[in-house]
Structure 1
Amino acid sequence: MPHVQTVLGPVPADELGRVMPHEHLLSLSPGPWTAADAPLGDPVELAVHALRGLPDRGFGTVVDLSPYGVVGRDADGENVALLAEVSRRSGLHVISGTALYLESWAPAWAREASVEQLTDRLVTDLTTGIGGSGIRAGVLGEQATGLGEMSAFEERALRASARAALRTGTALMTHTTHGTLAIDQVELLVAEGLDPARVVVGHLDTQLDPDLPRRVLATGACVAVDTIGKQEWEFFLGPPQRGRADGEFAKRCFHRSDAGRADLVAGLVAEGFGDRVVLAQDLTGAEAWMNADTHGTTGYRYLADVFVPMLTDRGVTDEQVEQLLRHTPARLLAAAA
Structure 2
Amino acid sequence: MYVQTVLGKIPSDQLGVCACHEHLYVDLSRIKKDEDTRLQDLDLVIDDLQLFKRLGGQSIIEVTNDGMGRDVTKLQEISRRLNLHIVASTGCYKDPFIPDGKLTWNREQLADWMISEIEEGIEGTGIKPGVIGEIGSSLNEFKPIEIEMFHGAIQAAKQSGLPLSTHTTLGTCALEQVEMFQKENLPLDQVIIGHQDLNTSDGIVLEVLESGAFVALDTIGKTNYRSDEDRLASLIAFIGKGYEDQILLSSDLTRKSHLSAFGGQGYDVVLRTFIPALRREGVTEDVINKLLVKNPQKAFSIHSRKGDLR
Output the TM-score relative to the length of structure 2: 0.90
Could you give the per-residue CA deviations for residues 158-191 of structure 1, whole angstroms, max 9, x where no partner exists? 0111111100111111000112111111111121
**What amino acid maps onto 1:14 in structure 2?**
D
Question: Which portions of structure 1, spanning 4 or more consecutive aligned residues, are displaced by more than 6 angstroms?
Answer: none
Instruction: Find the partner of 1:192 among 181, 184, 195.
Output: 184
Greater CA radius of gyration, 1 or 2?
A: 1
Counterpart residue type for residue 12 of structure 1: P
Residue 65 of structure 1 aligns with which residue?
Answer: 63
Residue matched to 1:249:
none
Match of 2:142 among 142, 150, 159: 150
Paired AA for residue 67 in structure 2: G
Is 1:176 paired with 2:168? yes
Is the Cα–Cα contact under 8 Å of residues 263 and 314 in structure 1 kept in the other structure?
Answer: no
Q: Bigger relative contact order, structure 1 or 2, given CA contacts below 8 A and separation 6+?
A: 2
* Contact 2:7–2:76 (CA under 8 A) maintained in structure 1: yes
Distance verdict in 2 for CA 1:89–1:264, change over 3 Å = same
Number of the residue aligned with 1:121:
113
Are 1:260 and 2:230 an aligned pair?
Answer: yes
Q: Report the TM-score, using the length of structure 1 for normalisation.
A: 0.83
Aligned residue number for residue 90 of structure 1: 82
TM-superposed CA distance for 1:199, in Å, is: 0.8
Instruction: Tell me if 1:4 matches 2:14.
Output: no
**1:204 Cα deviation from its structure 2 partner:** 1.0
Which residue type is aligned with residue 113 of structure 2? R
CA distance in 2, matches of 1:121, 1:45: 32
Matched with 2:131 is: 139
**2:276 maps to what in 1?**
309
Kindly indicate whether the alpha-carbon contact (under 8 Å) linking 2:91 and 2:153 is maintained by their aligned counterparts in 1.
Answer: yes
Structure 2 unaligned residues grouped into runs of 5+: 28-37, 305-310
Indicate the SS of the match to 1:224. Answer: strand
Q: Which runs of no fewer than 5 residues in structure 1 stay unpaired?
A: 29-39, 74-78, 233-254
Residue 49 of structure 2 corresponds to residue 51 of structure 1 = yes
CA distance in 1 between counterparts of 2:21 and 2:39 reads 23
Q: Which amino acid aligns with 2:303?
A: A
**Aligned amino acid, residue 312 of structure 1:** R
Give 1:275's match in structure 2, choosing from 240, 245, 256. 245
Shift, 1:86, TM fit: 0.6
Letter in 1 for 2:213: A
Residues 195-274 of structure 1: pairs in structure 2 closer than 5 A: 195-232=187-224, 255-274=225-244
Q: CA deviation at 1:55?
A: 2.7
Q: 2:252 matched to 1:285?
A: no
Q: Cα–Cα, structure 1 residues 10 and 41, in superposed 2: closer, same or farther, change >3 Å? A: closer
Q: How many percent of aligned residue pairs carry the same amino acid?
A: 34
The Cα offsets for residues 120-159 of structure 1, whole Å up to 9 and x where unpaired, read as 1111222211112211000111100001110111001001
Letter of the 2:141 counterpart: E
1:286 shift after superposition: 5.7
Q: Secondary structure, in 3 states, of the residue corresponding to 1:133?
A: coil
AA in 2 matched with 1:190: Q
Whether the 8 Å contact between 2:95 and 2:145 is mirrored in structure 1 is yes
